[in-house]
Structure 1
Amino acid sequence: MTTDLNLAAKKYATDGFVLVKGLLSKEEAASYREASHQLLARLNRDDDPTWGAATGMSATKTKLQHLHDAQFYDAAFSRLLVDPRFTDVAAAVMGVPNVQLHHTKLFVKPPENGSPFPLHQDYPFFPHTHHRVGAAIFHFDDAPEEKGCVRVIPGSHLEGPREHDPEGSFHLPDVPFESAVPQPAEAGDVLFFTYLTVHGSGVNVSDQARTTWLVQYRDPGDPPTVRTHDHSLGQGMMLRGVDPTGRSGA
């Protein structure tokens, strides 16, 4: 499916996000879903990244599976990182020709009690000078509202960085979760948003897992104000174009 890059860039500039439908085919998404679950099972990671601030968003205890840097365990994810269908959109919405990797995270919300994420901006976790930093959430299976789909507050990026709760997760306790608009997606859809866009996600109360891959990208010409996520393998890798600064991961 061909993406209208100009239309995507306009919506991204206005709303702070754009959901690109069918960036991957259903067959590709299913293949990545299988690879994701096999990878998590093979590595047998038992750490749960559920935020403490998520307590109270569900009547029961929730859980979450995740993995940093999936591209260092399975080459299929490496290919997806440099797929022009993805990188051309990332470049268009940022308004720059060059796209650099910041980090990736694979997430699986288990059935019935998959953990939510309180509303937040990504900005405080890895602030940059010019705010040309974004995220792409690849949906490897359907994500209706009952599976805890992503929610966003349209236009929230225009207000710039916000004051966050500094305890643990940097969430926004004063912003009602209900004020965020659900963004249900189908397998193969990719949600792009700026790191200033207020977003979160609900509890997966369905009987099926929700599988997504988060790719954080940036303009290599936008220097970080704080060095973070240095543990992320491949930070500074060029996904499209060149790094005109010569800084790489710096």
Structure 2
Amino acid sequence: MTTLATSQLEQYALEYQQQGFVLAKGLLSKKEAADYRTHSHDLLTMLNRNDDPTWGAAAEVAMGQATQLKHLHDAQFYDAAYSRLLVDPRFTDVASAVLGVPNVQLHHTKLFVKPPENGSPFPLHQDHPFFPHTYHRVAAAIFHFDDAPLEKGCVRIVPGSHLAGPREHDPAGSFHLTDVPFSDSVPQPAEAGDVLFFSYLTVHGSGVNVSNEARTTWLVQFRDPADPPLTDAHNHSLGQGMMLAGIDPTGRRGNV
């Protein structure tokens, strides 16, 4: 395990500030990504969860079938491999760099698998409406455990959209944006082992997986512990408030 050079972290921080996102190539090795892919699919099979988190605004038909999505909150409470990844300095160093602070606190995690041929898309949105914070020092990291080309429904981002601040979202259909055309978003194809970091103010979404392989990702939302939440929304996640790097100078233990 090696950490990134200071110059690389500074470049990531600059890209994030300017564009609202940065793709950290090869943060995990191909073998590590493959192992996490196996962990993810085995875990979903073992737990046998049947709830489908496809947004109403995203419901589509692909290959003659309604699109589907598999997910799991808080995978780190079911498999220690994810706990190790949360505090891996390769991840936390970049997380600290993009936030611009030394302290990184967990907000929540979600494991996603887009099934082959009909994996559900996500409409364009910001994450801000779901858990707004005072200073907007909240970000996400999407770990890619297998390749995510365009045909797999890779993440799409509107570069620089974070600079406009919070936007009005339609409360119907899971708070999607109605005034930003999907064509404004730029696909961010990724390889297994890549990690995409973006601000919770960055407009993003994803397309349908029409390939013959699943797309497997792990989303980690993190924040500066000194950035107070504005609401009690999304406070049910296990482990929220866990310090991934540094300390919590507020002593709040998350939202408590």
Q: Normalising to structure 1: TM-score of the pair?
A: 0.98
1:11 matched to 2:19: no
Do the aligned residues in 1 keep the contact of 2:60 with 2:120 (CA within 8 Å)? no
Give the superposition deviation at 1:60. Answer: 4.1
Match of 2:186 in 1: 181
Please give the alpha-carbon distance, in whole angstroms, between the structure 1 residues aligned to 2:74 and 2:141.
Answer: 14
Measured after TM superposition, the shift of residue 249 of structure 1 is 1.6
Mapped contact 2:124–2:176 kept (Cα < 8 A): yes
Matched with 2:45 is: 41
Match of 2:139 among 134, 138, 141: 134
Q: Map residues 92-111 of structure 1 onto 2, 5 A cutoff.
A: 92-111=97-116
The answer (yes or no) to whether the contact 2:103–2:248 under 8 Å persists in 1 is: yes
Instruction: Please show how residues 1-250 of structure 1 align to structure 2 within 5 Å.
Output: 2=4, 4-56=8-60, 60-250=65-255
Separation of aligned partners in 1, 2:154 and 2:79: 25
Whole-Å Cα distance in 2 between the matches of residues 95 and 249 of structure 1? 19
Report sequence identity in percent.
Answer: 76
SS for the counterpart of 1:7 is helix
Give the ranges of 4+ consecutive aligned residues of structure 1 lying more than 6 Å apart after TM superposition. none
| Secondary structure at 1:6 match in 2 | helix
Task: Give, in whole Å, the separation in 2 of the partners of 1:57 and 1:113.
Answer: 7
CA distance in 1, matches of 2:26, 2:215: 17
Give the SS at the match of 1:188: coil
Matched residue of 2:90: which SS? Answer: helix
Report the count of equivalent residues. Answer: 250
1:37-84 CA-to-partner distances (Å, cap 9, x unmatched) read 000000000000000000247574100000000000000000000000
Q: Which runs of 5+ in 1 are unaligned?
A: none
Structure 1 position 168, deviation (Å): 3.8
Letter in structure 1 aligned against 2:30: K
- Tell me if the contact between 2:61 and 2:67 (Cα under 8 Å) persists in the aligned partners: no
What SS is found at the alignment partner of 1:215?
Answer: strand
**Pairwise CA distance, 1:25:** 0.1
The CA distance in 1 between the partners of 2:60 and 2:219, in whole Å, is 25
Cα distance between partner residues in 2 of 1:197 and 1:56: 24
| Letter in structure 1 aligned against 2:254 | G
Q: Is the 8 A contact 2:58 2:122 kept in 1?
A: yes
- Deviations along 1:91-141, one digit per CA (max 9) or x if unpaired, are 001100000000000000000000000000000000000000000000000
Q: CA RMSD in A?
A: 1.1
